[in-house]
Structure 1
Amino acid sequence: MTNTGGGGGGLSSAEVSERIERGEVNDVPPRSSRSAADIVRANVFTRFNAIIGVLFLIILVVGPVQDGLFGFVILANTGIGIVQELRAKRTLDNLAILGEARPRVRRDGRSTEVPTDRIVLGDLMELRPGDKCVVDGEVAEADSLEVDESLLTGEAEPVLKHPGDQLMSGSFVVAGSGAFTATKVGREAYAARLTEEASRFSLVHSELRGGISRLLKYITWMMLPAAVGLVLSQLVVEHHNPTEAVRRMVAGIVPMVPEGLVLLTSVAFAIGVIRLGRKHCLVQELPAIEGLARVNVVCLDKTGTLTEGGMDVTEVRPLNGADEARVAQALRALGAAEPHPNASLQAIIEAYPPMPDGAGRWQPTDTLPFSSARKYSGAAFAEPDGTRSAWLLGAPDVLLAPDDPVLAEVNRLDREGLRVLLLARAADGLDGPASGTDPAPHAHPAALVVLEQRLRPDAAETLGYFAEQNVRTKVISGDNAVSVGAVAAKLGLAGAESPVDARELPAAEAERARQVTDGTVFGRVTPQQKREMVGALQSSGHTVAMTGDGVNDVLALKDADIGVCMGSGSEATKAVAQIVLLDNSFATLPSVVAEGRRVIGNIERVATLFLTKTVYSVLLALLVVCWQVPYPFLPRHLTLLSSLTIGVPAFFLALAPNRERAKPHFVRRVLHYAAPCGLIAGAATFVTYLLARHHYSGPGSLTAETSAATLTLFLIAMWVLAIVARPYTWWRVVLVLAMGAGFLAVLATPPLQHFFALKLAGAVLPWTAVGVAAVAGVLLEVAWRLAAGKLHT
């Protein structure tokens, strides 16, 4: 009900300036990505960069520069990572400015929008439905002001606020309007610390990054004993040449480090943000890209998602002999009485513009704002002839008795996809809510207002995309179930012909979860039910994305695995969503899904390459220790192999298109492929090395032995690359062939032969090396198919 207090024109410009000078300003940390210094620090000061850096310094002391090439590769990779993350930061920061809240503040007697960081202590801030309270304050004006504090307290029931009541930052308006005076700003505000943590763009807390961290932990455990054994064995074996022993020891340790894996993950995420930023998609938390790729159920709110915000009044049908002129006047008065109309009421205002102030205008004496829980709004008026009347406007199936014959016509219109509102006269006025009773049962129907909703032109194509990708789509709306089903059916959504009224869902949790899982279209869903339905889907093992733009979607958006909000949505909705579609285009959503799939699928590909190298490097080190022989490679050999079979191709593969839906158990999947491939590669390479040691003798034999082993390892690594690059496209074939051509160029060019210390001697061992690689290739194919079959069972 209407109640007011406080008020005034707010602070003057002079008072605002004084408060800014005193530092009484809302200086909360900006919602931004990591600082440039943090990005540089995170890319440079890593555990593996430290290991590589020490080994690089050792090589600079004891060996030629070509054995230190791995150090320059690390510098280049780190530089690429920093540049890409800085680009992503710039994109995120620019988009955040576009999407940030701009509260309305009353200053010098005028209402104006200001950035949140320009709010000062004592500002008079206006509130409308959907507005988020960004600072703490005290209510100064209230017109049926209902505030949801669930994000702070967990209590879903809206709280009716009166002048003098406290407002906490983080709460949001669900109905009514008002104003409050800012009493705490900046870091003193209740939710400031929560906002600072929750609003930061993050690179952590994702299955992908968590899995990579675990892999790196495993690798560290493998590296330590292998490295110690290798150091001691090379010092013993090469006792006549300590410098050579150190170089061979470094060569054995460096390839154990998957130095580019973390880099490529960060680069893939960063480029994903940049690509989506070009489509006006603000990713508020980077793991959201990954999360949406794992989603198998998308819950859509109809209004603002499948339909555009605007509507058109197509017909008004008086009921029970109601006078058409009086019905029109009532609709005109209801539109004039609501300062912040929703889409339905805005359509009525456009059809029945308010009369100018004068003798013929109905004067509002009381208002009841629309709320998603009630499903109707209302107002009381003093008419020009002294008559007092109260009118309700809302859902027919809420305002009418279940057996009312008018509902049959309403259902027919609903089946056509039209939206129908009922205008009714409240016999007992609007005192129902205040007195604890509902005015709806005592209302007398006056007219049906038929509205036509505007379908989004891209909605059908987007729904089709999700169907192709085996992502189930569910429409969850507060509107009439039959009407929602008709709209969904027009867009070709399978299952829309059997809509479910959420009021009829069973109370039993297990049965409700089953119906929610099986159903496709749900109507008359309350905000709390939306939240429960998301929870029911999650309890059934689904990864759920929720889209919406209204305050009735906030609770569900917050609890969903991924929350997606339209840029025109309420500030409260944008505050809890991980992804904001700034151009309000539902068609952007497939791009986000595709970007997530590209990132995850490709990182899994390149992780297999990197970990295969780690496994064969550890195995080679252990075999060398056991056989007490010189390590077969110099650092330059493995730098060459890593660049051609992993580094360069992984960069292109990580950025390639990939539409396959992300699968769980990242670590298990990667190790199932990488472990057998690495063991086969290491064993085959060592066999060639032992055969070469037996075949060659005399000066220069070590170079010939190393060259034969390098040839075998290169061919096997290329085979792994060829497997990982499947399914083949023209550019992937070109990529693999180009890497092979690069190695042939080294073998065929004398200066490069000398630089990399590679020279094949004779014909027997080189062809033997090729034969060993061919046998290993067959084993790789068998192992790969067995691993794939095991993962799919």
Structure 2
Amino acid sequence: MIDAEAPPPAETSPEGLTSAQVAERVARGEVNDVPARSSRSARDIVRANVFTRFNAIIGTLFVIIMVFGAPQDGLFGLVIVANTAIGIIQELRAKKTLDALAVVGEAKPRVRRDGRTTDVTPRELVLDDVCAIGAGEQIVVDGVVVEADGLELDESLLTGESDPVHKHPGDPVMSGSFVAAGNGAFRATKVGRDAYAARLAEEASRFTLTRSELRSGLDVILKYVTWLMVPVGILLLVSQLRSNKGDFSGAMTGMVAGVVTMVPEGLMLLTSVAFAVGVVRLGRKQCLVQELPAIEGLARVDVVCLDKTGTLTEGGMDVGEVRTLAPDLPVKEALGALGTSDPRPNASLQAIIDAHPAPEGDGWRVTGVEPFSSARKWSGATFAGEGSWLLGAPDVLLPQGDPVLRDVDELGAQGLRVLLLAKADGPLGDRAAEHATPAALVVLEQRLRPDAADTLRYFASQAVAAKVISGDNALSVGAVAGKLGLAGAEHPVDARTLPEDRAELAQELDDNTVFGRVTPQQKRAMVAALQSKEHTVAMTGDGVNDVLALKDADIGVAMGSGSAASRSVAQIVLLDNKFATLPAVVAEGRRVIGNIERVANLFLSKTVYALLLSLLTGVASLPFPFLPRHLTLIGTLTIGTPAFFLALGPNTERARPGFVPRVLRFAVPAGVVAAGTTFLTYWLARLNHGSSLEQDRTAATITLFMVAMWILAIVARPYAWWKLVLIAAMGGGYLLAMFVPFLSDFFALYPDDLPNWGIAVGIGLAGMGVLEFGWHLSGWVRRRHPAAVSWQAGADSAKTGAKEKAEEKA
């Protein structure tokens, strides 16, 4: 990296450096030493997924049970392995794809050294290297032009401005731009981290995880559970030592059985599974999700900031109209012939080539060419039998005050580019335009993505506001957005007039839709202003100028063909560059959020009843009513297995904030009912002195299973055939565990005490009745007071159920 205190580098010859000069600069550290980085390292990925609060809690309890209990009571420890593996594998998969993209997209600069032009890697460039550039090549470091032959640079990745910029010797060039037309050479004046694009990328290089309300909510719950585990664990251990007459191993097993059930371990795993399945589904649509929670984030988005270039428009242009000014001249043939005169056509000429094929006949054989010059702003060609023709800027080729210029101004105000085709009266030369006859106006329009209009309509139907934020001319951006049917496009705003105050800027963003001439710093400020008004913001982009805004947005969406810097900071990369993939991401996120919230009711109900059972058992100084394997069985049949299928089923319910309060409103009453009925069964069974502890525990297991199954039945509503089959299969599984000898021995279930049976089933039925009454009561309250939030958060509306069934059939 260059020392900021070092003197400015000496001027070098356009022929480039010698090997000795290169060696000197390498020794001084004046090299392009920007590290190649497309994502966070494998070590960071493993560390982030292994060292979590959840793994620490479950891991500690697993070690305790392995030391003091039976191996079959430690089955819950497998969740750590599965949960961690899913997160690591998915992120490493995304990293591999991104690294491959970075290598494929890496520019190969051509430098002049020792009188020869050679290809080098970007990291082999040194200060003062002279780099040869041609059409389509990327500028990888900052520099100054030393040669220019019709040189035009596309700086849209840096500025958002789609119009090529003409360059002359002495003009600066910035890394991240591309050669749009012509050729030339430039001398490197800033390399490494001093280069413009590198400074932007370095500012955005700190890896930040997507905020996930699901994950955050679960972390909050887990934090409180952690705090409660210590006093509850101590209480349980003391009570178990007293009730087990000093049997420390038995007391530790009872304590772990109560504490581990408080941890919603399966919910953490299921959240990862649901996210991972969503990632796979989106991967089939050529959408790379770098972080698991990103699909949830986009489902919660209510504002999407779109960059025009590369998002709403494709590369290249189209001929929208040809207005003939001289009907007697062969306009179409001349346009087709001009296309054959330039071996390296720019975007404007390529659009003409696409619209008008080359004419046949020797009369259109090229005999002379005048390349485009930014000084004269036109190009031309002479043909064997048709004379000379010019194509360029109307205000140059037409005299001032010509009435045709009024049409040109009107078209320009609509964001269209206009070229004039003229027939020269004499030979080509600098003065050819002075004696030219106007033949036609060629109206060029930017090429719109065919799927952009449908995607904007989708967002509008989902109440997601779309804001077009571009560095291009505001009128041009407004014209593009208007053609796509975006509401508010008729009032584009020039960002140079926007206030700097965040509150005032946020109001302008709320009131308007289309913004032009936006700088990279303003894009970032716009994202922050929207977030200050509690909006969840998604930002799309493909250029270096989008990097900081992509990083600050709640969700960054980059195009696969965009810059490596934008791909590395975005959470979602559209590998096929299709803007139309975004609705699929939103829908997948909604499926994940809706289903995880549904099954969270199951898991947190278990947390509540485990906590209450632990407290009741500790206060009553009774042996804990379950072994860990009992709770593993009940959790698997009433929560784990059904939750897996429920989490992956269809769900189109709109994402809503307030995940934790809604879930608790369901889980707390359900958990209280489950804990109360179970403890009542266990306490009455203990009063039956003719039964053993194993039989009393079996009775408690029966009651808890019945109540937990009814919680599942409520959460699964509205019913579909597969849900009914699932519930029936779980009930059958429990009966097998009860009455198949080797299974009943494995799970320590002994259903041979009839009095206990009667107590367990009777109280279980009563608990199911209480749950059903509560569900109907909450529905009645919801119908009478629509604004009220029901504790029946696990049940969906009939409309959602109809959509689910329609999706299942599809």
TM-score, normalised via structure 2 length: 0.73
What do residues 55-96 of structure 1 show as CA deviations (whole Å, max 9, x unaligned)? Answer: 33443444433333333x33xx51464156325522541254
**1:31 matched to 2:38:** yes
CA–CA distance in structure 2, aligned partners of residues 400 and 367 of structure 1: 21
- Among 726, 732, 735, the alignment partner of 2:726 is 735
Question: Which of 94, 97, 100 is residue 97 of structure 1 equivalent to?
Answer: 100
Q: Is the 8 A contact 2:143 2:187 kept in 1?
A: yes
Partner of 2:81: 78
What residue number does 1:371 align with?
none
Structure 1: how far apart are the matches of 2:216 and 2:358?
58
For 1:389-404, list aligned pairs within 5 A: 392=393
Distance 1:642 1:783, change over 3 A: farther
Contact 1:317/1:449 (CA < 8 Å) preserved in 2?
yes
8 Å contact kept, 2:673–2:767: no
* Partner residue, 2:370: 362
Note closer, same or farther for the CA distance 1:534–1:644 as it changes in structure 2 (3 Å cut).
same
Q: 1:772 aligns with which of 747, 761, 766?
A: 766
Q: C-alpha deviations, 1:714-745, integer Å up to 9, x for none? A: 22222232333344333333333322221121
Alignment map for 1:454-465 (pairs within 5 Å): 456-465=449-458
Residue 636 (structure 1) aligned with residue 636 (structure 2) = no
CA distance 1:353–1:24, change in 2 (3 Å) = farther
Per-residue CA deviations over 1:500-559 (Å, capped at 9, x if unaligned) read 243599867888866754666x4x832349837766655554333344557786776566
Number of residue pairs matched by the alignment: 733
Query: RMSD of aligned C-alpha atoms?
Result: 5.5
Q: 1:421 is aligned with what amino acid?
A: V
1:165-215 C-alpha deviation (Å, 9 max, x unpaired): 99887x657999875566787789787697478468765544333333222
Matches within 5 A, 1:113-128: none
- Compute the displacement of 1:685 (Å): 1.9
- Does residue 341 (structure 1) correspond to residue 346 (structure 2)? The answer is yes
Alignment correspondent of 1:250: 256
Kindly tell me: are residues 240 and 549 of structure 1, through their superposed partners in 2, closer, same or farther at Cα, counting changes over 3 Å?
closer
2:110 alignment counterpart: 106
Residues of 1 paired with 2:772 and 2:120: CA distance? Answer: 67
Deviation string for 1:611-658 (max 9, x for gaps)? Answer: 222222111111112222221111111111122222223333333333
1:265 is paired with a residue of what secondary structure? Answer: helix
Give the letter for the 1:347 counterpart: A
In structure 2, the partner of 1:663 is 656
CA distance in 2, matches of 1:209, 1:736: 28
Q: For residues 280 and 692 of structure 1, do their structure 2 counterparts lie closer, same or farther at Cα, with a shift above 3 Å needed?
A: same
8 Å contact kept, 1:365–1:379: yes
Change (3 A) 1:199 1:663: farther
Secondary structure of 1:500's partner? coil
Instruction: Check if 1:754 corresponds to 2:759.
Output: no
1:457-496 equivalences under 5 Å are 457-473=450-466, 478=473, 480=476, 483-484=479-480, 487-489=483-485, 495=487
Out of 289, 294, 297, the residue aligned to residue 288 of structure 1 is 294
Q: Given the superposition, is the C-alpha separation of residues 114 and 766 from structure 1 closer, same or farther in structure 2, using an over 3 Å criterion?
A: farther
Structure 1 residue 39 displacement after superposition:
5.0
Q: Supply the AA of the counterpart residue of 2:418.
A: L
**Contact 1:104–1:113 at 8 Å: present in 2 too?**
yes
Equivalence for 2:576: 583
Q: How does 1:130-141 map to 2 (within 5 A)?
A: none
Q: Distance in 2 between matches of 1:185 and 1:409?
A: 44
Matches within 5 A, 1:44-55: 44-55=50-61
**Tell me, what secondary structure is at the counterpart of 1:716?**
helix
Residue 98 of structure 1 deviates from its aligned partner by: 3.1
Q: Shift of residue 231 of structure 1?
A: 0.9
- Label 1:393 to 1:203 Cα distance change in 2 as closer, same or farther (>3 A): farther
Question: Which residue type is aligned with residue 72 of structure 2?
Answer: Q
Check 1:149–1:548 CA distance in 2 against 1; reply closer, same or farther (3 A cut): closer
- Structure 1 range deviating more: 212-221 or 329-338: 329-338
Check conservation: 1:684, 1:776, Cα contact below 8 A: no
Farther-moved stretch of structure 1 (667-676 vs 569-578): 569-578
* Distance of aligned partners of 1:736 and 1:619 in 2 relative to their CA distance in 1, 3 Å threshold: same
Letter in 2 for 1:98: L
Matches within 5 A, 1:57-456: 57-71=63-77, 73-74=78-79, 78-79=81-82, 81-82=84-85, 85-98=88-101, 101-107=105-111, 195=201, 198=204, 203-239=209-245, 241-300=247-306, 304-306=310-312, 308-313=314-319, 315-317=321-323, 341-342=346-347, 344-348=348-352, 350=354, 351=356, 360-367=368-375, 378=377, 392=393, 406=407, 410=411, 419=416, 421=418, 423=420, 448-451=441-444, 456=449
Counterpart in the other structure of 1:603: 596
Cα gap change, 1:277/1:136 in structure 2, threshold over 3 Å: closer, same or farther?
A: farther
With over 3 angstroms needed to count, the CA separation of the structure-2 counterparts of 1:144 and 1:518, relative to structure 1, is same
Contact kept in structure 2, 1:537 and 1:544, CA below 8 Å:
yes
Q: 1:121 to 1:246 in 2, by over 3 A?
A: same
Partner AA of 2:296 in structure 1: E
Q: The residue matched to 2:624 in structure 1 has which SS?
A: coil
Alignment partner of 1:705 is 2:696: yes
- In 2: Cα distance, 1:179 partner to 1:558 partner: 34
Q: TM-score, normalised by structure 1?
A: 0.74
CA distance change for structure 1 residues 587 and 111 in 2, over 3 Å: closer, same or farther?
farther
Q: Deviations over 1:96-146 (max 9, x none)?
A: 423663224105799898876676787655679998865576766675769
CA distance in 1: counterparts of 2:505 and 2:45, whole angstroms: 46
Q: CA deviation at 1:33?
A: 5.2
SS where residue 109 of structure 2 aligns? strand
Q: Secondary structure at the match of 1:499?
A: coil
8 Å CA contact retained: 2:713, 2:727: yes
Q: Any idea what SS the aligned residue of 1:647 has?
A: helix
SS of 2:441's partner is strand
Query: Can you give the 5+ residue segments of structure 2 that lack an aligned partner in the other structure?
Result: 1-10, 423-436, 792-810
Q: Tell me if the contact between 1:615 and 1:675 (Cα under 8 Å) persists in the aligned partners.
A: yes
CA contact (8 A) 1:281 1:580 kept: yes
Write out per-residue CA displacement over residues 443-473 of structure 1, whole angstroms, 9 at most, x where no aligned residue: x999632246665444454345434433344
Q: CA deviation at 1:406?
A: 2.7
Instruction: Report how far residue 226 of structure 1 moved.
Output: 0.8
Q: What letter corresponds to residue 484 of structure 1 in structure 2?
A: V
> C-alpha distance in 1, partners of 2:594/2:686?
41
Alignment of 1:511-522 (within 5 A): 517=510, 522=514
Could you say what secondary structure the match of 1:361 adopts? strand
How many angstroms does 1:665 deviate by? Answer: 3.1
Amino acid at match of 1:292: L
Range 86-95 or range 568-577, more displaced: 568-577
Q: Which residue of 2 aligns with 1:720?
A: 711
Residue 584 of structure 1 and its aligned partner are, at CA, apart by 2.4
The answer for the alignment partner of 1:436 in structure 2 is none
Amino acid at match of 2:273: V
- Whether contact under 8 Å (2:321, 2:442) holds in the other structure is yes
**What are the within-5 Å matches in structure 2 for residues 543-622 of structure 1?**
543-548=536-541, 560-569=553-562, 574=567, 577-622=570-615
> Match for 2:393: what amino acid?
L
Distance in 2 (CA, whole Å) between partners of 1:237 and 1:259 is 28
2:393 match: secondary structure: strand
Q: C-alpha distance in 2, partners of 1:126/1:572? A: 24
8 A contact 1:28–1:196 mirrored in 2: no
State the shift of 1:754 in Å.
2.0
Aligned: 1:781 with 2:775: yes
- 8 Å CA contact retained: 1:392, 1:424: no
| Secondary structure, aligned partner of 2:227 | helix
